[in-house]
Amino acid sequence: MEVQSPDKNEKIYAVHAVVDADSIFAVIRKLKKLGARDILVLPVEKLIP
């Protein structure tokens, strides 16, 4: 999902994902290396397919 940026020349995207709890820290490290920022981690109580 593209998000409005204060800087009109910068494109920002919101990405939502469900990640296995055992690999969350490894995934966050990889995302940060790719430039991700403002990462929010929330517990999933129910996942309905």
Overall size of the chain counted in residues: 49
Quick check: pTM over 0.75?
no
Which pLDDT does position 40 carry in this prediction? 93
CB 5 within 8 A of CB 12: yes
Write b or e for each residue in 9-48: b if 16 or more Cβ atoms lie within 10 A of its Cβ, otherwise e: eeeeeeeeeeeeeeeeeeeeeeeeeeeeeeeeeeeeeeee
Over residues 1-49, the pLDDT tens digits come to 556 666 777 778 888 888 999 999 999 999 999 989 899 999 988 878 7
**What is the domain extent for residue 5?**
1-49
Q: Given this model, what pLDDT does residue 48 score?
A: 83
What was the pLDDT predicted at 26? 96
What tokens appear for 46 in the block? 């129910």
Q: What is the spatial distance between Cα 36 and Cα 27, in angstroms, rounded to a whole number? A: 11
> What total of structural domains would you count in the chain?
1
At residue 44, the pLDDT reads: 86
